[in-house]
Amino acid sequence: MGFGLSAGAAGAAEPAHPALSGLNKCAEVADVGPRAACYDAALAALSQAVQSGEVVIVQRKEAQAAQQSVFGLNLPALTIFDRSGKDSAPLASVVGEAKQVYHDHAGKWTVVLTDGAVWRQIDDEPILRAPRAGSQIEIRKAALGSFFMKVDGQRAVRAKRSE
């Protein structure tokens, strides 16, 4: 009866790192003494792998923060952070505060959030109450990889993340 520890994506064919596999194998040892010795050796191997950087342990809140910081960017290599558990859905929206806002040369809004994300309006819909520093900005996924940006609860406009 193993712990089910795996370094691969849930359901993926990627094998667990040997340090994690060692812990699973120890659970199958019937005798208490040899099982304890097995766990001691497996824990030492896992600790060494973590210290060397070969295995990285990420807490769920760190994974969620990473997901939020890259929301809207096309970075498929970061799907590793999508594995925070069965009960968590993919990130569908983020809420932030505008640090800086301005019109571009075409008269469309650019909003820089306090976390450094830059969102640019891509449609011609008006934002009735102009965004300003301190405005609450909600970005949510829309169809076909597009995004909606809502400023201070107003009607959403289409937007694209540029940074």
9-48 pLDDT, tens digit each: 444 445 577 878 888 889 889 999 999 999 999 999 888 8
The confidence band for 149, taking pLDDT boundaries of 50, 70 and 90, is very high
Mean pLDDT, range 99-106, rounded to an integer: 92
User: pTM (2 decimals)?
Assistant: 0.57
* Most confidently modeled range among 3-17, 70-84, 139-153: 139-153
What is the separation of C-alpha 4 from the centre of its chain, rounded to a whole number of angstroms? 23
Mean pLDDT for all residues in the chain: 81
For residue 118, the model assigns a pLDDT of 93
Which comes out higher in pLDDT, residue 8 or 64? 64
d(CA 93, CA 148) in angstroms, rounded, equals 9
The domain spans of the chain are 93-161
CA angle 48, 53, 55 (to 5 degrees): 75
pLDDT value for 132: 95
Closest CA to 151 of 104, 72, 96, 114: 96
pLDDT class of 6 with cuts at 50, 70, 90: very low
Spatial distance between the Cα atoms of 149 and 154, rounded to a whole number of angstroms: 9
Record the tokens describing residue 18, joined without a space: 């040997």
Q: Rounded CA gap, 57 and 50, in Å?
A: 7
